[in-house]
Structure 1
Amino acid sequence: MKKIKFYGLSILLLAGLSCSDDLDTVPKVELSLDQLLQQDPNAIDGIMSKLYGSFALSGPNGPGSSDISGDDAGESPFLRGIINLQEFTADGIKNRWGDDGLDQLTTTSGWDANNKFFRYLYNRVYYTVPQCNNLLPVLNSIDFPQKDQVVGEVKFIRALAYYYMIDCFGKGVLVTEENSSSGVPLPQSSRQELFDFVEAELLDAETKLPDNNSYGRANKSAARMLLAKLYINAQVYIGVARYDEALTYSNKVITEGNYSLDPNFVRIFSGDNHTSPEIIYPLIADALVSQSYGNTTYIVNGSLNPETMNLADYGATAGWGGHRATKAWYGLFGNLNTSTDIRASLFWTAGHSFEMNDYKEWTNGYPSIKFRNSNFGSSSSQTEFSGTDFPLFRLADAYLMYAECVVRGAAGGNLTQAVNYVNQIRTRSNASEITPGALTLDFIIDERGRELNFEGHRRTDLIRYGKFTGGSYLWPWKGNNVNGTSIPSHYNLFPIPQSAIGANPNLTQNPGY
């Protein structure tokens, strides 16, 4: 990978594992881990890069390889699943390809347990989790430099994978290093049980992780961001408001994390965004070393089309012509032609219509040019694959979570400080400042849309605000209606993939499917 050394190790952690395979698969090793570390103490970096890479890459042998048997290498990587399920199902971005289940996502309609895109994300969780489970007992049985830190990183990675199980599916199987070798199908775990496990793991990881770590690896702020996200959505996840804790951990990120808002909004989404002071935890991409159709290549190339756009301006050699924003996103800026907001300029409007009367027509709706493969601060070459890292967690999100918790009445919050954080975000983009009276929940959900759309948060945000299902908030093609229509409440969760239910008789389907 670009910023994490990747070693050609003789360790293979569950390569080829499918979700339907046994979860107690043992790593194949030619050297024990302690022998390997004695020969090369830096080998742990290579092992960790495999775990971190499981969120962005499809497999160990390039973009055409897949870690998971039966899942398409191009379609199934974790980050691609996050975009598909968090963005296409929501209001901001629609995809026009419609291939084998993608229409169900982009129109939030007709969801069923055989949709391969639900299976892809589910399988990715249960590919990453067993790798962590197999590694933790070995790490705990030997001594090596920075042992606690590495254990904390593994726990964070496992918690991050389980977070998407909590958020997307609401239940699953809780596989840990203690029960992974049971040899029998494990019982189903509730959303509460998964929540409690992830919370405990992150609290433990926070004590082990350093304040600062190598770029692309988790530190205390990464664990705190995930805790803040877990707590701010607790009302949805477990029926108990935890906004006090969400504010506490957002504030820790802000005041103790040594991050700052990037003065250049566009740099955060450019090929040299590893230089941004704002990114807390990225999923790393590299145009040469870690090529994937599932990292930001999917976002960049999918939003470009040589028929109407100049690919060289965005550092790409291919435009797939798939993703366009809807007026539910760019309409948040008012008139794009007169808006001074830098974020409002990040849509391609030439040759495209404001309305999306046909989501399968490329020129309906405005493509987002927020992400690009070109460098912000230096010249760069066009490449087939993107080298732009994906900012999964960044400081502006912590600012907005803090402000939301204050408005929701969290203890310890300060309204003046909340308004200040929001105004720092807005002035960075040359948008007008707001007054304390304007800081409402409705304003915050719209500001989150202006600031964070296409970054994997939108569906979760809309659910937290009660705007995803039902008919109180409509967007183009919601419920497969050009103007939007009400969708049932059980769509707040995705169906458990039928393949998972077939593999474990203890799993039950989510209501409504």
Structure 2
Amino acid sequence: MKKILLYGLSLVSLFSCSEFIEEENLSFVNADEYYRTASGYNALVNANYAQLKEIYGNDAYVFEAGTDLCAVGSGRGTEPEGLSRYTQLNPSSDGGIQELYASCYKAIQTANMAIHYSTITEQNSDVAKLVGEVKYLRANAYFLLVQTFGGVGIVTEYFTSPQLSFDRNSAQEVYNLIINDLTDALNNVGTGTFNGHVNKRAVQHLLAKVYLTRAYESFGSATDFATAASYADDAIAGQGLTIPFATLWAPPTGNEIINAETLFSVQYSPASASTSPTQLGHKQANWYSSYLGGPEVATSAGWRSYNLLPTQFALSLYTQEDQRFRATFMVEVLWRYYGHFDGNNPTGKTRHYYAPQWATPADITSYIASHPGVQVHQWGTYGAGVVSSDYQTIPTKKFDDPKAPYATNAKVSTRDIILSRLGETYLIAAEAYLNTNPTVGLQRLNAVRARAGITTPLTTYDIDTVLDERARELFGEYHRWFDLKRTNKLVERASLHNYLINAANFNGANGVLKILRPIPQSAIDLNKNKNFPQNPAYL
């Protein structure tokens, strides 16, 4: 077993991991006794699910910044330049790189702990299933790490104290571990609809994505695309895309796991966040709109973020018949921003209208006549890069949470963060079949488009077609940087469609492009093994 720095244990002060450490260090004797009971072991497994909130609940930059779809507003907002522009990307960069590295290793250590106790806890028929769930969660953490950094240190042992000497495994070895964990999970987790716990369909979806991603690597197997397609179809399980897209993203009255197309999510609830409503939620709603607030009218909006705004390219991908445009973006801003969701718009007025690219001059004239006092934003004037003041960019409403309390740059939303859903499973299948059976791939792709209201099916497609469709379907859902990196399209698409990025921004040391992100310098500095290599673009 290779040794690894247990990042979540060793960098408490640097990465604010005190709550996790306190829980484990208050009394190892009492914890040991507790985890040997059935109730204690269930609590330990629940702690593994809670680690997802650390990975996904903070800033969204590591998932979406520096892509073809999102950019900071011109002259407004701040983003970590290393992630949004690549020019300042280096081993000491912050903006989420160190946080992702640390939170994933905390999740891995928590999983290793649960796996360790599974053999010595009170045995019952649920233990094998719970271990399967934990192995899925460990695989998910390693998958994020290997996509982001390449090879990383593998640890499968549970340590009760920091280990300060560690080696770096190859990306191929990390993928092998991920696949082994997910295969074990598939053989043990429960079946049926998603109820908050990992089930077989969630595992099949992630296995499909892992094999799809590995297929592009130099060490990938010749059968990876076919295997990815097979697992995607297993996860689809004959279920059609029958829920209207707008319904998928309408703010819920209850927990979003009731959505029949959700395969796996990070779960939140207002009740669980009630003791600290601006710290126990998450930030997904924060970064995609020019507005975030409570009951304020549109003319006196609350906190406005000018980050991760839709690029002009992102907006241009939609056609008039595509229902996802209005379901994703707030084409009309009412006097009360949240009036769209709760029907409370006292004046009955519309304050802003963002004319879509298919709106004719006659259409706009007619709209103004029926909406006195509305401010019209002409097509081509409200994407990231060409706006600088309030409401000059179109808000993204997809993740809006009308129940969220107003607080500046805080973790206020308690909507679930959807990690896997059926629409993406279809798109994974389409991408995999592109390389094995394009006829079947077109069926999967056209099923996604048909649900969106597009009546003319595609008759041919390529990887750019898939990426465009993923953009329309999955805007903002924490996939885009990984999509572009996986398909070797990151440099091409980011430099072509993001006004902040030139292709030269990716030039790193040693003639290597900044595709992988740098291993955090703090981790390398703490490592007593000085032969641990940094990614070559950052040497």
TM range (shorter): 0.7 to 0.9
Within the candidate set 181, 187, 190, 1:201 is matched to: 181
Tell me which amino acid in the other structure corresponds to 1:91.
Answer: D
Partner of 2:134: 154
8 A Cα contact 1:478 1:485, kept in partner: no
Tell me which amino acid in the other structure corresponds to 1:204.
Answer: D
- Offset of residue 390 of structure 1: 1.2
Q: TM-score, normalised by structure 1?
A: 0.78
CA distance 1:37–1:422, change in 2 (3 Å): same
8 A Cα contact 2:151 2:168, kept in partner: yes
CA distance 1:136–1:317, change in 2 (3 Å): farther
- Offset of residue 276 of structure 1: 1.0
Partner of 1:92: 69
Q: Provide the aligned length of Structure 1 versus Structure 2.
A: 456
8 A Cα contact 2:35 2:44, kept in partner: no
* Alpha-carbon distance between aligned partners in 2 of 1:120 and 1:182, rounded to the nearest angstrom: 18
* Alpha-carbon distance between aligned partners in 2 of 1:174 and 1:18, rounded to the nearest angstrom: 23
Within the candidate set 204, 210, 224, 1:224 is matched to: 204
1:141 has 2:166 as partner: no
* Alpha-carbon distance between aligned partners in 2 of 1:270 and 1:37, rounded to the nearest angstrom: 42
Q: Report the secondary structure of 1:287's partner residue.
A: coil
Q: Report the secondary structure of 1:509's partner residue.
A: coil
Root mean square deviation, CA, Å? 3.5
Q: Report the secondary structure of 1:188's partner residue.
A: coil
For residues 150-184 of structure 1, the C-alpha deviation after alignment (integer angstroms, 9 at most, x for no partner) is 11111111111110111000021111117887955
Q: Report the secondary structure of 2:398's partner residue.
A: coil
Partner of 2:534: 509
Partner of 2:100: 121
Partner of 2:487: 465
Tell me which amino acid in the other structure corresponds to 1:283.
Answer: V
* Alpha-carbon distance between aligned partners in 2 of 1:254 and 1:312, rounded to the nearest angstrom: 42
CA distance 1:109–1:359, change in 2 (3 Å): farther
Q: Report the secondary structure of 1:80's partner residue.
A: coil
Partner of 1:108: 86
- Offset of residue 324 of structure 1: 1.2
Q: Report the secondary structure of 1:202's partner residue.
A: helix
CA distance 1:238–1:472, change in 2 (3 Å): same
1:452 has 2:479 as partner: no
CA distance 1:441–1:287, change in 2 (3 Å): same
- Offset of residue 222 of structure 1: 1.5
Within the candidate set 317, 333, 338, 2:318 is matched to: 333
Partner of 2:323: 342
Partner of 2:356: none
CA distance 1:450–1:304, change in 2 (3 Å): closer
- Offset of residue 366 of structure 1: 3.0
* Alpha-carbon distance between aligned partners in 2 of 1:312 and 1:507, rounded to the nearest angstrom: 54
* Alpha-carbon distance between aligned partners in 1 of 2:40 and 2:211, rounded to the nearest angstrom: 35
8 A Cα contact 1:260 1:277, kept in partner: no
- Which structure 2 residues correspond to residues 314-333 of structure 1 after superposition, within 5 A? 319-333=304-318
* Alpha-carbon distance between aligned partners in 2 of 1:270 and 1:46, rounded to the nearest angstrom: 32
Tell me which amino acid in the other structure corresponds to 2:67.
Answer: A
* Alpha-carbon distance between aligned partners in 2 of 1:293 and 1:270, rounded to the nearest angstrom: 22
* Alpha-carbon distance between aligned partners in 1 of 2:294 and 2:278, rounded to the nearest angstrom: 21
Q: Which runs of 5+ in 2 are unaligned?
A: 1-7, 332-352, 354-374, 407-411
8 A Cα contact 1:19 1:126, kept in partner: no
Q: TM-score, normalised by structure 2?
A: 0.75
- Which structure 2 residues correspond to residues 249-268 of structure 1 after superposition, within 5 A? 249-255=231-237, 260-268=240-248
Tell me which amino acid in the other structure corresponds to 1:463.
Answer: K
8 A Cα contact 1:86 1:457, kept in partner: yes
Partner of 1:167: 147
Mean CA deviation greater in 461-470 or 107-116:
461-470
* Alpha-carbon distance between aligned partners in 2 of 1:84 and 1:400, rounded to the nearest angstrom: 23
- Which structure 2 residues correspond to residues 50-69 of structure 1 after superposition, within 5 A? 50-57=47-54
* Alpha-carbon distance between aligned partners in 1 of 2:296 and 2:51, rounded to the nearest angstrom: 29
CA distance 1:19–1:214, change in 2 (3 Å): farther
Q: Report the secondary structure of 1:286's partner residue.
A: coil
CA distance 1:261–1:43, change in 2 (3 Å): farther
Q: Report the secondary structure of 1:512's partner residue.
A: helix
Partner of 2:419: 392
- Offset of residue 320 of structure 1: 4.0
Q: Report the secondary structure of 1:499's partner residue.
A: helix
- Offset of residue 192 of structure 1: 0.9
Partner of 1:60: none
- Offset of residue 405 of structure 1: 1.6
CA distance 1:212–1:260, change in 2 (3 Å): same
- Offset of residue 78 of structure 1: 3.4
For residues 410-439 of structure 1, the C-alpha deviation after alignment (integer angstroms, 9 at most, x for no partner) is xxx472x4333322222222123313x233
1:442 has 2:464 as partner: yes
- Offset of residue 477 of structure 1: 2.6
- Offset of residue 476 of structure 1: 2.1
Partner of 1:298: 283
CA distance 1:507–1:450, change in 2 (3 Å): same
1:80 has 2:61 as partner: no
* Alpha-carbon distance between aligned partners in 2 of 1:219 and 1:18, rounded to the nearest angstrom: 36
Tell me which amino acid in the other structure corresponds to 1:80.
Answer: N
For residues 281-321 of structure 1, the C-alpha deviation after alignment (integer angstroms, 9 at most, x for no partner) is 101122341467688742213334459997689xx975545
Q: Report the secondary structure of 2:99's partner residue.
A: helix
The percent of aligned pairs where both chains have the same amino acid is 22
